[in-house]
Structure 1
Amino acid sequence: MQLTISQRFYFDAAHTLQREIETASSRRIHGHTYHAEVSVTGPRDPVNGMVLDLGFLRQRLSMVREQLDHHLLDEVPGLGTPTLENLCAFIAAQLGDVRPSVSKVRVWRDALGDACTIDAF
Structure 2
Amino acid sequence: MFELSKQFRFDAAHTLQREIETESSRRIHGHSYRAEVVVRGAPDPITGMIIDLGIFERALQEAREGLDHRFLDELNDLGPATMENLAAWVWRKVEPVCKGLCRVVIYRDASGDTCTYFGG
* TM-score (normalised: structure 1): 0.93
Secondary structure of residue in 1 paired with 2:61 = helix
Which amino acid in the other structure matches residue 115 of structure 2?
A: C
Tell me the residue number matched to 2:4.
5
Q: Does 1:94 align with 2:93?
A: yes
> How far does residue 77 in structure 1 lie from its aligned partner after superposition?
2.2
CA contact (8 A) 2:78 2:86 kept: yes
Give 2:72's aligned residue: 73
Does the 8 A contact of 1:7 with 1:54 survive in 2?
no
* Shift in Å, 1:55: 1.6
Cα distance, 1:22 vs. partner? Answer: 6.3
Identity of aligned residues (%): 51
Determine helix, strand or coil for the equivalent of 2:105: strand
Q: 1:112 is matched by which residue type in structure 2?
A: S
Matched positions, count:
120
TM-score, normalised with respect to structure 2: 0.94
In 1, the alpha carbon distance for the partners of 2:24 and 2:61 equals: 30
Aligned-residue CA RMSD (Å)? 1.3
